[in-house]
């Protein structure tokens, strides 16, 4: 019988080319990351000649135009943490609930429509989310809470939550779908209800992928720039308690976006902004490393 499959001799050169391209792409990705790190280090480290790293991280005032200039990063770091934490408090349960619905509850036809629609939200430009928050959601929330301004930390958290949801839903749904069908059938055969099976069998079995989804959503939120620049008020002050969510604040990303274009090259202000970029780079790297660790080490079904 004649075989329609190509012979090994004909397939081997093409396979070698593809394998070589994959290796080159992986190598270039590592090179690009290292090049970015070197670039940030080159322009960030000179600020340490002006102010020590400890004083910079613990400084309570960011005022580059003061005399002498102040480069305290604490208000910016806390602002980023506030906005990101609020976004995850809202986005994590919402994203997981959507993923469970799409994977376990929705009919097959609805599932085929819902998941692409949710993933399509990730393609919406961040400036569109910023405009919606600035023009619609912000004034409404300010009226509800009796706030003088429609730009505050909680607004940034809400907008970022909706921006992180597509990432959380997509990765979590893949992890839930990867749980073997036998898990569900065995649980139902033992007398568990459908919701008991979902909450006590399927979700725990997919916990590694779900944790990775949360961390990727965290990275999406903490690295966002344009949205927080538009809706958080950009006040470099240290937020105080839960009330800090209802007052203007400033994040690290918004500071870079707002000030880099007006900063003279190779001044202390210039190097301080690069130090912020270096800190953000290290945070993003740490989030991705932890996400990879969760996928590999934490028991459960991988996405």
pLDDT of residue 1: 46
Q: CA-CA distance, 155 to 228, in Å (whole number)?
A: 9
**What mean pLDDT do residues 240-263 have?**
92
**What mean pLDDT do residues 44-69 have?**
91
Contact 277, 40 (CB under 8 A): yes
Q: CA-CA distance, 165 to 131, in Å (whole number)?
A: 18
pLDDT of residue 297: 62
Residue 294 scores a pLDDT above 60: yes
**What mean pLDDT do residues 230-255 have?**
92
Confidence of residue 302 (pLDDT cuts 50, 70, 90): very low
**What mean pLDDT do residues 216-225 have?**
89
Q: Residue 144 class from Cβ within 10 Å (0-12 exposed, 13-18 middle, 19+ buried)? A: exposed
Residue 43 scores a pLDDT above 50: yes
Task: Share the mean pLDDT of the chain.
Answer: 89
Q: Residue 218 class from Cβ within 10 Å (0-12 exposed, 13-18 middle, 19+ buried)? A: buried
Query: Each residue of 129-183: pLDDT tens digit?
Result: 999 999 999 999 999 988 888 999 999 999 999 999 999 999 999 999 999 999 9
Residue 9 scores a pLDDT above 70: no
**What mean pLDDT do residues 268-289 have?**
92
Confidence of residue 5 (pLDDT cuts 50, 70, 90): low
How would you label 244-275 residue by residue, b for 16+ Cβ within 10 Å and e otherwise?
bbbbbbbbbbbbbbebeeebeeeebbbbbbbb
Residue 303 scores a pLDDT above 70: no
Residue 7 scores a pLDDT above 60: no
Q: CA-CA distance, 205 to 298, in Å (whole number)?
A: 10
pLDDT of residue 287: 85
Tell me which residue of 59, 32, 122, 24 sits closest to 272, measured CA to CA: 59
Residue 103 scores a pLDDT above 60: yes
**What mean pLDDT do residues 46-53 have?**
91
Q: CA-CA distance, 270 to 171, in Å (whole number)?
A: 38
Between 25 and 14, residue with greater pLDDT: 25
Q: What is the DSSP letter of 50?
A: T
Residue 87 scores a pLDDT above 90: yes
DSSP output for 29-46: HHHHHHHHHHHHHHHHGG
The pTM assigned to this predicted structure is: 0.86
pLDDT of residue 119: 84
Rg of the chain (C-alpha set): 24
């Amino acid at each position: 019988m004649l075989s329609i499959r190509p012979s090994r001799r004909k397939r081997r050169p093409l396979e070698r080319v593809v394998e070589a391209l994959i290796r080159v792409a992986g190598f270039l990705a590592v090179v690009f990351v290292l090049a970015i790190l070197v670039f940030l280090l080159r322009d960030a480290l000179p600020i340490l000649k002006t102010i020590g790293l400890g004083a910079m991280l613990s400084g309570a005032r960011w005022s580059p135009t003061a005399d002498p200039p102040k480069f305290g990063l604490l208000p910016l770091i806390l602002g980023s943490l506030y906005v990101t934490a609020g976004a995850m408090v809202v986005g994590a349960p919402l994203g997981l609930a959507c993923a469970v619905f799409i994977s376990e509850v929705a009919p097959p036809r609805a599932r085929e429509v819902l998941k692409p629609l949710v993933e399509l939200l990730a393609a919406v430009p961040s400036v569109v989310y910023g405009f919606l928050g600035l023009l619609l959601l912000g004034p409404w929330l300010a009226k509800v809470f009796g706030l003088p301004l429609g730009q505050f930390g909680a607004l940034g958290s809400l907008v970022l939550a909706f921006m992180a949801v597509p990432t959380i839903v997509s990765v979590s749904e893949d992890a839930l779908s990867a749980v073997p069908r036998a898990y569900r059938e065995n649980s139902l055969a033992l007398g568990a209800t459908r919701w008991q099976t979902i909450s006590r069998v399927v979700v725990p079995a997919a916990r590694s992928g779900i944790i990775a989804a949360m961390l990727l959503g965290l990275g999406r939120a903490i690295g966002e720039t344009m949205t927080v620049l538009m809706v958080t008020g950009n006040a470099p002050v240290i937020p105080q308690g839960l009330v800090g969510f209802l007052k203007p604040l400033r994040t690290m990303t918004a500071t870079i976006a707002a000030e880099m274009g007006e900063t003279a090259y190779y001044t202390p202000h210039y190097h301080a902004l690069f130090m912020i970029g270096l800190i953000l780079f290290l945070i993003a790297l740490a989030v991705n490393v932890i996400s990879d660790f969760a996928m590999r080490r934490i028991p459960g079904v991988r996405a």
